[in-house]
Structures are given as C-alpha cells and as structure tokens.
Amino acid sequence: MSISVISPTGLAAAGTASVGTAPTGSTPTTPIGIVPAGLAIIEEYEGCRLTAYLCPAGIPTIGYGHTGPDLTIEDVGRRTITMAAAEALLESDLRRVGDQVAGACRVSANANQHAAMVSLAFNIGIGNFRKSTVLRAHNRGDTEAAGRAFNLWTKATVRERETERGRKVELPGLVSRRAREAALYLTVVRPEDRTAMPRGFIEEPPIRATPGIAGSGVAAGAGGLAATAEIVRQVGDIGYAASPIADLVLRFGPIVLAVIGAVVIGWIVYRQIRLRQEGWR
C-alpha cells in the first residue's frame, strides 16, 4: 500500500497529544496515524486477497482483512474488488480502529504503542481489545505487562468446514504477529526514553521468584496435604484411634485439611489473577 510518510518535523509541529487523542512522539507516521512499521505488520499478516474468502475463523473477509456487515457468506468466492478498492478499505478501517483505540486509552500512547495496539485491535476486534489485558495494563502505566499480554491473543476458533463446530487453536501466524506487535509496542520513540546500557549487572533474580516455580510450590503443597491425609487414615487403620491424640487428629484432621485446602485454592486463584494482570498466561 503506497502511503506517503510525514516528516518528523511535520509531526512535531502537530504538538503533543493528550489522553484519548492521537499518539505522541516524534516517529514518522502515515497520514492515517500509523507508523510505517505498524502498517507493515498489518499488511504482511493480513495479506491482500481481491476475492472474498473465509478466514480461518470462518468469517467472510476481503482485501486487507476487511470484514463487516457489507460482506456476507454469499459473497465468498464471488465478490471481487480492485487493488485500489482494497487500499481504500484498509485506509478507512485503520482510521476507524485508530480512533477507537485512542478513545480507549486513558494513558497517552506514543506512536509505536498506538500502532501496535491498532494492529492488535484490527485483528481481534475493538470489542475484544477494550476488555484485553493489553489495554488494562497500558492504562495503568505498566508497559512491560502490556507488552507481555500481546501473547495472550494467539488462539482462534477454527472451523475446518462450515458445518463443523469450532475449536480453539494456537496459530503460528498469530504467535509471530503478536511477537512483532509486542516488540513494536516496547520500542522507544523519544531520545529521553532511552537508557544508557550498563556494563555491570546485578545478579539474576532467584529462581524461586519465577511464576513457574511459584506454581510448582503450590503443587508441592497440595501433594503434601494429600500425604498428610493418607497418614491420618493409616494411623486410624493401625488401631491408635483409642489414643486421645489420635482421636483429636481423626476428629479435627478433616476440618483442618479442608481449611488448608481452601487456603491453597484461594492462593492458586489469586496467583493466576496476578499473573494475568502482569501479562503472563
């Protein structure tokens, strides 16, 4: 798609954007408000097909990923458009999605962040974008979590035939696209955003701090509870139930185990929520 590029001087003259408006920063952008790198991602992964077709999710599509009420299942394989029409549809779609993304951002986005989020929203739909972890993390100023959260959108409901029920599948193309979008989102725009690269580094964080190890600890704790329950049962089988201590264990053990189990389950749920908020799976 041939779209001229605004010079950095011309963009700077436009001023700094406020919350909910055009993206900030001095990176050159196209007239539709998307940096060339973002436009390249959209064009490369959407591709351009001049005859209407069904996307992997079974949605009628034409041009550069254009969908909508103007395209129906009856158009698939029949309706064709020109290259000029495909470019016009893309420009119109990106202007609309760009405005919707800017309106959803309570924290200003620089040009690269805006382009990455437009590419994501163009692909998953503005409704999904508005409830995404990417947007929530961006709006609380957590750019690292927002960058990670792009990877949460790598699955699609795929139908091999029109009558077949869909199944969620992780698509390699989505994995690759999300990685490109995340990299663009995290790419600095202004010189003052750049940090001098140090030569001395602090040590890696201890392995116990990683999410995987935290999950393993919870699993180990659950295994310990099961082992404790088995020991209590065996004590009863051996015949020590007459002992006052064993009697207390047998009487209150299940209650204690239930309480501990509830605490463990609560911790697992809390940990999963926190990991999702931070952009992890």
CA 188/CA 185 separation, integer angstroms: 8
Q: How far is CA 98 from the centre of its chain?
A: 18
- Active-site pick, 43, 44, 46, 203: 46
| Integer Cα distance of 120 and 244 in angstroms | 65
- Using alpha carbons only, give the angle 93, 35, 182 rounded to the nearest 5 degrees: 90
Query: Could you tell me if 145 and 68 are in contact, meaning their C-beta atoms sit under 8 angstroms apart?
Result: no
The 8 Å CB, 24+ separation contacts for 150-154 are: 150/116, 150/120, 150/178, 150/179, 150/181, 150/182, 150/185, 151/175, 151/178, 151/179, 151/182, 151/279, 151/281, 152/276, 152/279, 152/281, 153/120, 153/123, 153/124, 153/128, 153/178, 154/178
- Gap between the Cα atoms of 87 and 31, Å rounded: 13
46 included as an active-site residue: yes
| Catalytic positions, written as ranges | 46
